[in-house]
Amino acid sequence: MEIVRNDDGTLIVPVAPERHAPSDDASEGGPADGGPADGDERAEREPSTRLLHPGEGGYDEALAEWDLQQNPDRPPVVSTASGREQAMAVVNAVASSPDHEVAPAVGALADPEASGEALRHVLVGGVHSVEDFAAEVAEAEGGEPLPAHEATKIIGEVLAELDG
C-alpha cells in the first residue's frame, strides 16, 4: 500500500498490525476452544492505515517517502545553493500569500527542478532539518520562523505542485 497525500496536507500511511505472542490461555477464544486463530480477530479490528497531520511524529519521514513514491527512479537528492535560495523564496511566498497560493509561487521559480531538489533535501533531513530551513527562510526573507509543521506542509504542497 502506498502513502496518499490529501489536499489538506495530511498523509494516509500504511500501518503494520501489531504482532502479539501466541497465548496458551483457552479462555481468550483461541483455537483450543474452537474460536478464531490467535491474532485473527485483533488484526481485523486494527486499522491498516493511519492519518498523519503536519507536525505529528513521523510526518516528515512519511512525506519524504511519499515524494519518493512519486518518482521512484529519481536519483538521490542534491541541494545546490541557488536551488536552496529559490526554495526559501517559494516557501516564504506561499507562507506570506494571503490566499496561500502555491501555483503562482511555483510558476515564478527560475529553476523549479533545483528548488524541488533543495526541498526534498530538507525533508530527507527530518524535523531538525525542517526547523533549520524555516529559520534560514526567516533570516533570508524576514519575519519569524515558521513552525516546523507549517513549513513541512508548505514543502509538501510545493512538491505536489512541481510533480503535478
State if pTM tops 0.75: no
How far is 5 from 156, CA to CA, in rounded Å? 9
Q: Average pLDDT by consecutive 10-residue portion of the chain (164 residues)?
A: 84 79 55 52 64 83 83 74 90 89 91 92 88 93 90 93 87
Task: State residue 14 phi and psi, 5-degree precision.
Answer: -70, 145
User: Residues 97, 153: one domain?
Assistant: yes
- Range(s) of the domain holding residue 10: 4-52
User: Residues 13, 71: one domain?
Assistant: no
Note the pLDDT of residue 93. 93
User: Residues 79, 158: one domain?
Assistant: yes
User: Residues 147, 70: one domain?
Assistant: yes
Radius of gyration for the alpha carbons in the chain, expressed in angstroms and rounded: 21
User: Residues 11, 69: one domain?
Assistant: no
Instruction: Give how many domains the chain has, as a whole number.
Output: 2
Note the pLDDT of residue 115. 93
Closest CA to 11 of 120, 149, 129: 149
User: Residues 84, 156: one domain?
Assistant: yes
- The answer to whether the beta carbons of residues 123 and 60 sit under 8 Å apart is yes
Placement of cell 524535523 in the chain? 127
